[in-house]
Amino acid sequence: MIIDTGASRTSLTRSFAARAGIEPVKDDGSIAHTANGAIWVMGGRAKVISLGDARASNIPVFIQTVEQKGFGPGIDGLLGLSFLGNFKFTVNDGVLELQPLS
């Protein structure tokens, strides 16, 4: 996963979402403008996303509908603000630190 503080939602490849058991919701989606161009993405919800000790529940995600428009070789998605917004986050010397907001 790539940390993307400029992304409003966490976005996943179709294959990763399937492996993680995240189902797209047919009535929730959007056109996303990416570095690879504009694509249609389906909405969904991750029951839990965790990164180290940081854990958040019921996170809205986007799921790419076209697999070949992925994020790059070996990258399953972008962790956006739908997850990161639950934390105070800092990056120091290449190390990401997440602390709960409350």
Tell me which DSSP letter residue 76 carries. -
The C-alpha atoms of residue 56 and residue 47 are separated, in whole angstroms, by 8
pLDDT digits (tens, 9 = 90+) for 38-80: 878 899 999 999 998 999 999 999 998 776 667 888 899 999 9
Dist CA 13 CA 89 (whole Å): 24
- Per the listing, tokens 């919701």 go with 25
- Would you place residue 10 in the very low, low, confident or very high pLDDT band (cuts 50, 70, 90)? very high
What pLDDT does 29 receive? 78
Write the single-letter amino acid at 15: S
CA–CA distance, 68 with 4 (Å, rounded to integer)? 20
Between 27 and 60, whose confidence is greater?
Answer: 60
Phi then psi for residue 24, to 5 deg, are -70, 145
Domains: count for the chain? 1
The CATH number that applies at residue 62 is 2.40.70.10
- Domain of residue 90 covers 2-100
Strands across the sheet containing 25-34: 2-3, 77-79, 10-12, 54-64, 37-51, 25-34
Those residues whose C-beta lies under 8 Å from the C-beta of residue 26, and which sit 6 or more positions away, are 42
